[in-house]
């Protein structure tokens, strides 16, 4: 299957915020009072609302609530997810629920299909 990151794969509904050297979901950012008009984080940096074009070297989760944010992966991120899924299958290391989220989102990785078949069997 084709790697969707090579096309415009950013989820149209996804808004993430970069602030305090972390990534936040829109709900948590709004609860912290970071509106879209020039808000400043606790480090004095302008809060940025990101609507696309972002890639991660690891899967992205909100700093505030831990919600998985489906940000496309770089090739290094794909290698990271592949290693994590294979490690769970080999020795049970990792948090099953989170790894299932990753495998479902990054379904195009061969390790994801193998992982999902094994854990849902």
For residue 1, pLDDT over 90 is answered with: no
Q: What is the distance of C-alpha 89 from the center of its chain?
A: 21
User: In the chain, what percentage of residues exceed pLDDT 70?
Assistant: 88
- Do 106 and 9 meet the contact criterion of CB atoms below 8 Å apart? no
List the chain domain ranges. 11-69, 75-119
Q: What is the distance of C-alpha 38 from the center of its chain?
A: 25
- Do 54 and 98 meet the contact criterion of CB atoms below 8 Å apart? no
Strand pairing partners for 56? 73
Taking only the tens place, the pLDDT of each residue in 48-107 is 888 777 888 999 999 999 999 988 899 999 999 999 999 999 999 999 999 999 999 999
Taking only the tens place, the pLDDT of each residue in 2-21 is 344 444 454 545 788 899 99
pTM of the model: 0.81
Q: What is the pLDDT of residue 106?
A: 95
């Amino acid at each position: 299957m084709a790697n969707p990151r090579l096309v415009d794969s950013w989820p149209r509904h996804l808004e993430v915020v970069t602030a305090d050297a972390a990534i936040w979901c829109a709900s948590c950012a709004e609860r912290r009072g970071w509106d879209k008009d020039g808000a400043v984080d606790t480090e004095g940096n302008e809060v940025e609302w990101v609507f696309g074009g972002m890639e991660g070297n690891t899967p992205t989760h909100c700093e505030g609530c831990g919600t998985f944010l489906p940000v496309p992966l770089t090739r290094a991120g794909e290698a990271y997810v592949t290693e994590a899924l294979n490690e769970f299958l080999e020795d049970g290391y990792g948090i099953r629920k989170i790894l299932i989220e990753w495998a479902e989102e990054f379904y195009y990785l061969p390790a994801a299909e193998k992982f999902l078949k094994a854990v849902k069997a």
